[in-house]
Structure 1
Amino acid sequence: MRKQFFIYGTILFVLTALVYYYLKLGFLLLILLPVILLIGCYNTFQKKHSILRNFPVIGYARYLFEMIAPEIQQYFIERSTDGKPFSRNQRSLVYQRAKNIDANTPFGTQLDLNQNNYEGIKHSIFPAKVNTDLPRVWVGGADCKQRYHASLLNISAMSFGSLSENAICALNKGAHKGQFYHNTGEGGLTEFHLQGGDVTWQIGTGYFGCRTPEGNFDAEKFKEKSNLPTVKMIEIKLSQGAKPGHGGVLPAAKNTEQIAKIRGVLPHTTIYSPPSHTAFTDAKGLVSFIAELRELSNEKPIGFKLCIGNPTEFEDLCHEMIVADCFPDFITVDGAEGGTGAAPLEFSDGVGMPFEPALIFVNRTLIDLNIREKIRIIGSGKIISGYSILHALALGADICNSARGFLFSLGCIQALRCHTNQCPTGVATQDKMLMKGLVITDKSERVYHFHKNTLHAANELLAATGKTSFDDVDISIFMRGDEFAHLSDLYFPNNLTKYTN
């Protein structure tokens, strides 16, 4: 708090000096100073806007920029469709749906649709009635006795440590209200994940939360936590799209005493999860580990997450499942374009298979081996809209996970400071001053609304195709630009003589 008052005091001093020096209007100070103080005090205690709560006065600079952004972007910075990894239009869509306000856009698309890389949905001239129920999918094979009825859209893996405790609590409370699951990430199952929402507990190579002092898997700790009622599924993390083959990274600035105690590591040090597991070293060992976790969890759904690298290894793993007659209940497919709080640039930009071909490959491999009906596929790759959900389903997914979409619903502004502990919205930080800007009660509602409104948009798109069930979604409902580019030749042939005579 003293740090804040120092900042506000400095701002007031500078403003006072500028007004007096340049304008020589000392009486304005009688108006200016009380107004700034009132604004600062009000924003310090309001609970709706994280930026203004953390930066009560200078935070208005961002909102001023928002007002003039179209002009500034058009001439100096970027267009609304150009931001990376998510454009301004995409982020705005999430913000509007999270706030439960009108998310319609004016004046038509800003995309150039007359390109061969255009992709769209083939709508029907006889649309179906829009379903008002939000879609759900059963997860759990023949060896699973506690099947789970999952939402079609859920929160992807993000750890406490990478995210703040307020962010984790808001996500879980939103999941509880919307009845969808919240993946813990590899950082472990914490009290902040136990706010009533359904949980998928992710077990990474560091075995945080079920770890021996030496860093190996602890079966008894796993058994205790996996049997908690809110833990609905368990996911073994083999690799992550943003840094496959590297392991997780928690920067020292984020590794507080609290997080170190939860993870069983030394505080204030950079924590690297190993690239590989110690509980198994090959496909046969992984299949055995799946069976072990299923038994320890009293037969809850067990699956694994991976980014495809060497396709042959995945095929060998599937053959091992068949030989052992032991199958995961789900496989989560991540793409090389996946997000992360911290990763070496070489891994983010140059390792792993992108989401779309990976999803197609996994789905086709399971079909070719006649084991597709035994395993659910969860797609996790830049899912932020109803369109991206249908697209993932068409490529083979049964369920979708979103990480950055739900981060935007919390108020993330894509500041790209996730690894610095200086996230201005209090989402990806352990700084208590910044964290307080994220008000759990407000942001949990936004998480809930983003989920509900995005699935409603998916329902509307499904109805536009003339279909009534997501089970009927396949790649045939999509069109690509190169499919109809040749049509112009039918209307504008090279020889136009007969049309002009």
Structure 2
Amino acid sequence: MRNKFLIVGGIVVILSWALGYFLKTDWWIPSLFTLVYALGIHNVTQKRHAILRNFPVLGYFRYFFEMISPEMQQYFIERETDGKPFPRNQRSAVYRRAKNISDTVPFGTQLEINQRKYEGIKHSIYAKSPSDELPRILVGNGQCRQPYNASLLNISAMSFGSLSDRAVLSLNRGAKKGKFYHNTGEGGISPYHLEAGGDLVWQIGTGYFGCRDAEGKFSPELFSEKAALPNVKMIEIKLSQGAKPGHGGVLPGVKNTPEIAQIRHVTPGMTIISPPGHSAFSDASGLLKFVQQLRDLSEGKPVGFKLCIGDTAEFEEICSQMNKLEIFPDFITIDGAEGGTGAAPPEFSDGVGMPLEPALIFVNRTLKKYGVRDKIRMIASGKVLTALDILRALAMGADMCNNARGFMFSLGCIQALRCNSNACPTGVATQDKMLIKGLDITDKSERVYHFHKNTLRTCNELIAASGRTSYSQVDASMFMRGDEFEHLSDQYFPDILKVSE
């Protein structure tokens, strides 16, 4: 679109001036074309808005409709999310934090509070002053020789292939500056993960991309070679993901470029479907032995696994085998069924797997039941977008959080839902070189950095508002829910309730 505008627009401007000269028409028509063309050139050269860089002049229509009313903005969001909009107030907060501008809004609360569904933090009359220090968590038990001091909030798994090279590089630059980690996703480690020098969690999926042999099996030699990279701080075995638990990942053939195929050790141009399960193991003991194998091959770096909880008996069996084999993963990433940025069949995304809240509670209680909770860090992943989401996850047992959606918004994602068609208009989730050029790495990496920093600062402010002084004091007692209001109403206003009935 950008090149077509420059070529066609230039021809139109020249023709309009030529016709004006020969036909002796009014000069306002060619002047108007010239002004529009000049505006388009400005759009193409500016670096803050990928939509305007890729769709000069036409991109203003979207911003105009979003500007004139919140209702029209909501209309666009609903169109982009198949009638299931991400909460506008949360999405707006992400954009403001990413742009490092005030995320306060005028005129107080912007939504009608439903007291039955309401959930919030119990503030204290004796609020504290918030800390300026951003929280960090040490990952690595006694079986780990290279523990990693991680940030409380990090970038969740998104592969190069699903994302563009500029998107990956922007994320990693932001992670480098903010000192938090960037999960590679199951697509393997690309040059764009390494160029900026940001910390990486290398995710090993069922396709073993980047460490697979000619038959698609796990290759210890290739793994140990890449695991030795200084950028790689931890290794995560992906068992399942919230978007489609029990279903393998998909890289459409149109996005499988020769460069991506070389990184993944696959044939270019083919649609790559990861197997639903691992070939390196098939039971709980096999999983834990694989954890130990990867720990040995990586010279003692922290190793864990990621899963969306399904059959709870299977997770209990894993915990039982930990004690039997005396092999303990350094961390477990719990993905909620409501999470995931990957494309998936609707039945999988909507009807398979356990949501994050009960999953965190279950995993936390089960690890304690088997006496291994103190050896393992719990990482929450699944629409953990805002500071409130982070504290809620910590209250349910998590030690730290991963997020994909918020960092996607920081890159400029508008939820156009064209990720799997290679036509992402912002250049975030495409391999189309013309669209990718619209994404400015310098600008977007700063937004990634600011979103992380400002979100954690808000976490500090919320903890202080609740009268607490550290993250170790975060628990369920910090939160209030609608059923508490009903209990209070029942207790103090029984007559009013009877009348209303």
Q: TM-score, normalised by structure 1?
A: 0.93
Please give the alpha-carbon distance, in whole angstroms, between the structure 1 residues aligned to 2:303 and 2:74.
49
SS of the equivalent of 2:421 reads: coil
**C-alpha displacement of 1:75:** 9.0
Distance verdict in 2 for CA 1:330–1:75, change over 3 Å: closer
Matches within 5 A, 1:412-431: 412-431=413-432
**C-alpha displacement of 1:49:** 1.1
Distance verdict in 2 for CA 1:350–1:11, change over 3 Å: farther
Please give the alpha-carbon distance, in whole angstroms, between the structure 2 residues aligned to 1:17 and 1:491.
79
In the other structure, the counterpart of 1:6 is 4
AA of the residue aligned to 1:180: F
Matches within 5 A, 1:32-181: 32-72=32-72, 84-181=84-181
> 1:225-246 CA distances to partner (integer Å, 9 max, x unpaired)?
1011110000000001101101
Q: Tell me if structure 2 keeps the 8 A contact 1:8–1:57.
A: no
Please give the alpha-carbon distance, in whole angstroms, between the structure 1 residues aligned to 2:462 and 2:221.
46
Please give the alpha-carbon distance, in whole angstroms, between the structure 1 residues aligned to 2:67 and 2:10.
24
**Runs of at least 5 residues in structure 2 that lack an aligned partner in the other structure:** none
> 1:400-443 CA distances to partner (integer Å, 9 max, x unpaired)?
00001100011111111111111111100000010011111110
Q: Tell me if structure 1 keeps the 8 A contact 2:426–2:438.
A: yes
Higher deviation after alignment, 107-116 or 96-105 = 107-116
In the other structure, the counterpart of 1:289 is 290
Please give the alpha-carbon distance, in whole angstroms, between the structure 2 residues aligned to 1:75 and 1:255.
33
AA of the residue aligned to 2:104: N
Q: Tell me if structure 1 keeps the 8 A contact 2:427–2:438.
A: yes
**C-alpha displacement of 1:344:** 1.3
**C-alpha displacement of 1:25:** 7.4
**C-alpha displacement of 1:85:** 4.8
AA of the residue aligned to 1:387: L
Q: TM-score, normalised by structure 2?
A: 0.93
**C-alpha displacement of 1:133:** 0.3
SS of the equivalent of 1:486 reads: helix
**C-alpha displacement of 1:14:** 8.8
Please give the alpha-carbon distance, in whole angstroms, between the structure 2 residues aligned to 1:491 and 1:242.
44
AA of the residue aligned to 1:461: L
Matches within 5 A, 1:382-421: 382-421=383-422
Higher deviation after alignment, 26-35 or 440-449 = 26-35
Distance verdict in 2 for CA 1:333–1:77, change over 3 Å: closer
**C-alpha displacement of 1:490:** 4.5
Please give the alpha-carbon distance, in whole angstroms, between the structure 2 residues aligned to 1:74 and 1:198.
36
Please give the alpha-carbon distance, in whole angstroms, between the structure 2 residues aligned to 1:286 and 1:85.
38
**Identity of matched residues, %:** 65
> 1:378-406 CA distances to partner (integer Å, 9 max, x unpaired)?
00011111111100000110010000110
AA of the residue aligned to 2:495: N
**C-alpha displacement of 1:272:** 0.3
Distance verdict in 2 for CA 1:119–1:71, change over 3 Å: closer
Please give the alpha-carbon distance, in whole angstroms, between the structure 2 residues aligned to 1:386 and 1:7.
42
Q: Tell me if structure 1 keeps the 8 A contact 2:153–2:401.
A: yes
**C-alpha displacement of 1:65:** 1.3
**C-alpha displacement of 1:11:** 6.5
SS of the equivalent of 2:97 reads: helix
1:222 aligns with 2:223: yes
Q: Tell me if structure 2 keeps the 8 A contact 1:16–1:29.
A: no
Q: Tell me if structure 1 keeps the 8 A contact 2:173–2:197.
A: yes
Distance verdict in 2 for CA 1:76–1:212, change over 3 Å: closer
In the other structure, the counterpart of 1:499 is none
AA of the residue aligned to 2:208: Y
**C-alpha displacement of 1:68:** 1.2
**Runs of at least 5 residues in structure 1 that lack an aligned partner in the other structure:** 497-501
In the other structure, the counterpart of 1:378 is 379
Q: Tell me if structure 1 keeps the 8 A contact 2:6–2:41.
A: no
AA of the residue aligned to 1:260: A
Distance verdict in 2 for CA 1:167–1:374, change over 3 Å: same
Q: Give the alignment's Cα RMSD to 1 decimal.
A: 2.4
Matches within 5 A, 1:232-311: 232-311=233-312
**C-alpha displacement of 1:30:** 2.8
Q: Tell me if structure 2 keeps the 8 A contact 1:250–1:342.
A: no
Please give the alpha-carbon distance, in whole angstroms, between the structure 2 residues aligned to 1:253 and 1:414.
20
Distance verdict in 2 for CA 1:299–1:85, change over 3 Å: farther
> 1:302-326 CA distances to partner (integer Å, 9 max, x unpaired)?
0000000100000001101110000
Q: Tell me if structure 2 keeps the 8 A contact 1:82–1:88.
A: no
In the other structure, the counterpart of 2:472 is 471
Q: Tell me if structure 2 keeps the 8 A contact 1:12–1:33.
A: no
Please give the alpha-carbon distance, in whole angstroms, between the structure 1 residues aligned to 2:473 and 2:68.
44
Please give the alpha-carbon distance, in whole angstroms, between the structure 2 residues aligned to 1:373 and 1:470.
16
AA of the residue aligned to 1:271: I
Please give the alpha-carbon distance, in whole angstroms, between the structure 2 residues aligned to 1:273 and 1:78.
31
Equivalenced residue count is 490
Q: Tell me if structure 2 keeps the 8 A contact 1:410–1:447.
A: yes
Please give the alpha-carbon distance, in whole angstroms, between the structure 2 residues aligned to 1:77 and 1:483.
33
**C-alpha displacement of 1:16:** 11
Please give the alpha-carbon distance, in whole angstroms, between the structure 1 residues aligned to 2:494 and 2:339.
44
SS of the equivalent of 2:457 reads: helix
Higher deviation after alignment, 24-33 or 249-258 = 24-33
Distance verdict in 2 for CA 1:15–1:123, change over 3 Å: farther
> 1:159-185 CA distances to partner (integer Å, 9 max, x unpaired)?
000000000000000000000000000
